Amino acid sequence: MGFNGARKHQKIEDPRYYYWADRLGLLVWGEMPSAYNFNTQEIENVTLEWMSFIERDYNHPSIVVWVPLNESWGVRNIFTDRNQQSFARALYFIAKAMDSTRLVSTNDGWELVETDICGIHDYSPWAENLAPKYLDKEKLLESSTGRRMLYCEGIKYEGQPILITEYGGIAFETEDEESWGYHGAVKDEKAFLKRYASVTEAIKNIPYVRGFCYTQLTDVMQEVNGLMTADRKMKVDIEKIRKINV
Q: Tens digits of per-residue pLDDT, 58-85?
A: 999 999 999 999 999 999 999 999 999 9
Contact by Cβ (8 Å): 215, 70: no
Q: Find, among 162, 158, 160, 179, the residue nearest to 226 by Cα.
A: 179
pLDDT at 27: 97
pTM greater than 0.85: yes
pLDDT band per the 50, 70, 90 thresholds, residue 4:
very high
Question: Which ranges in the chain are annotated with CATH 3.20.20.80?
Answer: 1-109
Task: Report the number of secondary-structure helices (H) and strands (E) in the chain.
Answer: 7, 11
pLDDT at 10: 86
Average pLDDT in the chain? 94
pLDDT at 15: 94
Quote the strand ranges of 85-195, DSSP E: 103-104, 107-108, 118-121, 162-168, 171-172, 185-186
Q: Find, among 99, 102, 110, 100, the residue nearest to 166 by Cα.
A: 110
pLDDT band per the 50, 70, 90 thresholds, residue 44:
very high
Query: Residue 184, SS3?
Result: coil
Please give the CATH number for the structural domain made up of 1-109.
Answer: 3.20.20.80
Average the pLDDT over 103-129 and give the result: 96
Phi first, then psi, for residue 97 (nearest 5°) are: -70, -35
The pLDDT of residue 181 is above 90: no
Residues in the chain, overall count: 246
The pLDDT of residue 199 is above 80: yes
pLDDT band per the 50, 70, 90 thresholds, residue 146:
confident
